[in-house]
Every structure is written in structure tokens, then in C-alpha cells.
């Protein structure tokens, strides 16, 4: 009886301490059990979710489809997550297009598939459950995941390298009204390296003023543009060029916010207006004149169709920091 009372007292003390820490800390005190990131955000499902790691327990698909660049017919294959639920040399590749020594249906380790070759991303699969994969059929515009036999990494994790000079971009036909909540409301959660020069990292644009997109960076600034006659929020981000960081960009009914590494660094209260654009892009905005393409690594992009709360952003940021070793 004394032992039961002692255990109950300890449990009561733990719960009391957790509750006294606030919503974000309480979540981590009570849920430190290795669940996947999207399973920890209970307010809504994501509109799209692309990553080099598994984001949702119920997701049973692949991370990406890749193409081995070789003379002759290039083999393609779907890359699975490894035993640690991430893309690595230990991931298994299932061949989908025959080429070289590979036949359709063959299964090989990713490290064997890319040994001695550069490998490019054909499709980055959507883990949200909505099937909104971003893809690129033009080989010269496919971003790179392996450079001459060496896996592309950022902070020691696999990462997709977008290249401005090649106009690399992955796209999906998804109406912006489907991607976001009413009034162009949404949150983007990103793990990427800022790119120097004038770049567009992801999002929607008609090539003019109809936008939901980010320049990370343009002239040393992070610019977040939202709306049919877009509202702009900016932040001096030059210190983060070519450095992996986690960002959250929030567009609410009467607010815009930029978060960098868990800290809100800019905010405003513009009036939002809905857009009508229909192509979502990762890595650049093809309709922009000139070379408005990202020129650095991108590891994770998640879009939610509402303005997430501060505690929810904290969950995202802490999880991403833990996995990607960002500050």
C-alpha cells in the first residue's frame, strides 16, 4: 500500500510540473514517445507534406522517385525510408523504369544505385494523404539528390539540391483555393538553406502580383508574399544563406508572421485576399521572368490550410530542430 501511494505521489508531481510549464512544454513532457511530426499536430491535416524523412505514421509510400544519370537509358526507382524512417544510403530503391543493369521490380540499396553516378529527383511524394506529389518530367530541370556518387546532405541528413542555373523546380497542379483555407489562410513549415541572389523558394505566383510564396533570400532578405495584390512581410536573413534553418510562415485572416528557428522575427496585420493561381512549385517560380530559382538545399516543406497557433508552431520547430540539428 505504501509503495502504491509513493508511485501515485510521483505521478502527481510529474503531471503537476508538466502542466505548470505551459502548452508546448506540457506536450513534450507527456508525449516524448517518438511519434511522427504530423501525428503531433492535432488541429488539422496538412495540405501537402514533402520531406526526406517519414512525417506520418499512417503513410506507407515512398519518399521520392529518382533518376540515375548515365549514358543510355536512365533507370528510375522509388526510394523508401530506411529503418530510421529517413532517406539514406541504406534506403531500398524499387526500380520503376529499366536501364543499365536494372529491370523493373528490382530492389537495391540506394547506395548501390547511386554508386559512381549523379541522381536526380523526378517526384517528391506528398505524405499528407492528399496525393499532391510535386514532379518534373524535364530531366535538365530535375533537382539533385546525389552528386557524382556522393549523397547530397545538409547537417548530415539527406537533402535535395536545387540549382538556379538549371532552373530546377518540382510542381503540382493544385488550385490555391484547395491548398489554403478561405481567404488564402495557411502556414508553411520549412527546413531549407537560404539561397543567395534573387530566388523564389516555393509557392504560387502568376508571375505578377497574385502570390503565396517566399523569396528565401532575395537581396539578403526573406520576403513572404501573400494575396491577389500581395501583402509583403520581410526579414533580414543574410546570416542564414547556405545554412540549414527551420522557418514557419503564417498567413491568417488579419496577420502575417515569419518565424526563424523557433523565434518570431517579423509580423504585420494586413488584409488577406484570395488568389486564383493553380500551380504549386517547389524550388522556383517558372512564370517569373529571369532566373528566380532556389540555389541551395531543401529538406522539408509542409503546408497547413490554417494559421497555426504559437504552441503548434513550437511543436513543429522543436521536432525539426531535434531531427535536423538546426539551432
What string of H, E and C letters represents the secondary structure of 277-307?
A: CCEEEECECCCCCCCCECCCEEEEEEEECCC
27-36, 270-279, 286-295, 312-321: segment of lowest average pLDDT? 27-36
pLDDT in tens, 255-310: 999 999 999 999 999 888 877 889 999 999 998 877 889 999 999 999 999 999 99
Per-residue pLDDT band at 207 (split at 50, 70, 90): confident
Per-residue pLDDT band at 197 (split at 50, 70, 90): confident
Per-residue pLDDT band at 35 (split at 50, 70, 90): confident
- In the chain, CATH 2.60.120.200 sits at 37-53+170-324
So what's the architecture of 37-53+170-324 in CATH?
Answer: Sandwich (2.60)
Per-residue pLDDT band at 208 (split at 50, 70, 90): confident
Report the C-alpha gap between 210 and 87 in whole angstroms: 35
Q: Give yes or no for residue 22 having a pLDDT over 60.
A: no
Q: Give yes or no for residue 20 having a pLDDT over 50.
A: no
How large is the average pLDDT for residues 246-262? 95
- Best-predicted range by mean pLDDT among 12-16, 31-35, 92-96, 289-293? 92-96
The pLDDT of residue 42:
65
pLDDT in tens, 71-86: 889 999 999 999 999 9
How large is the average pLDDT for residues 231-260? 96
Over pLDDT 90: what percentage of the chain?
A: 78
| DSSP string for residues in 221-275 | EEEEEEETTTEEEEEE-GGGBTSEEEEEEEE-SS-EEEEETTEEEEEE-PPP---
Per-residue pLDDT band at 34 (split at 50, 70, 90): low
Instruction: With beta carbons less than 8 A apart as the criterion, state whether 320 and 174 touch.
Output: no
Distances in Å between the Cα of 168 and the Cα atoms of 94, 119, 137, 141 are 24, 14, 11, 4
The pLDDT of residue 23:
40
Amino acid at each position: 500500500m505504501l509503495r502504491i501511494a509513493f508511485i501515485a505521489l510521483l505521478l502527481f508531481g510529474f503531471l503537476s510540473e508538466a502542466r505548470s510549464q505551459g502548452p508546448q512544454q506540457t506536450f513534450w513532457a507527456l508525449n516524448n514517445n517518438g511519434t511522427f511530426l504530423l501525428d503531433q499536430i492535432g488541429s488539422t491535416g496538412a495540405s501537402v507534406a514533402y520531406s526526406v524523412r517519414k512525417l506520418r505514421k499512417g503513410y506507407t509510400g515512398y519518399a521520392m522517385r529518382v533518376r540515375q544519370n548515365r549514358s543510355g537509358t536512365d533507370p528510375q526507382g522509388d526510394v523508401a525510408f530506411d529503418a530510421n524512417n529517413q532517406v539514406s544510403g541504406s534506403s531500398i530503391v524499387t526500380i520503376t523504369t529499366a536501364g543499365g543493369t536494372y529491370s523493373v521490380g528490382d530492389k537495391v540499396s540506394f547506395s548501390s544505385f547511386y554508386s559512381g553516378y549523379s541522381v536526380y529527383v523526378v517526384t517528391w511524394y506528398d505524405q499528407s494523404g492528399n496525393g499532391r506529389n510535386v514532379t518534373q518530367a524535364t530531366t535538365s530541370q530535375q533537382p539533385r539528390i546525389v552528386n557524382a556518387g556522393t549523397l547530397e546532405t545538409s547537417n548530415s541528413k539527406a537533402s535535395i539540391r536545387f540549382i538556379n542555373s538549371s532552373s530546377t523546380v518540382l510542381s503540382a497542379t493544385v488550385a490555391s483555393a484547395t491548398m489554403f483555407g478561405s481567404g488564402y489562410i495557411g502556414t508553411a513549415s520549412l527546413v531549407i538553406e537560404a539561397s543567395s541572389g534573387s530566388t523564389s523558394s516555393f509557392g504560387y505566383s502568376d508571375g505578377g502580383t497574385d502570390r503565396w510564396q517566399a523569396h528565401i533570400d532575395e537581396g539578403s532578405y526573406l520576403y513572404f508574399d501573400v494575396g491577389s495584390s500581395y501583402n509583403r512581410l520581410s526579414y533580414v536573413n543574410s546570416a542564414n544563406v547556405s545554412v540549414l534553418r527551420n522557418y514557419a510562415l503564417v498567413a491568417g485572416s488579419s496577420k502575417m508572421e515569419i518565424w526563424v528557428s523557433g523565434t518570431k522575427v517579423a509580423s504585420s496585420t494586413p488584409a488577406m485576399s484570395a488568389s486564383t493561381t493553380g500551380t504549386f512549385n517547389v524550388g522556383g517560380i517558372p512564370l517569373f521572368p529571369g532566373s528566380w530559382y532556389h540555389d541551395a538545399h531543401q529538406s522539408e516543406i509542409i503546408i497547413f490550410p490554417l494559421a497555426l497557433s504559437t504552441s503548434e508552431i513550437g511543436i513543429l520547430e522543436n521536432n525539426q530542430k531535434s531531427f535536423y540539428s538546426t539551432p
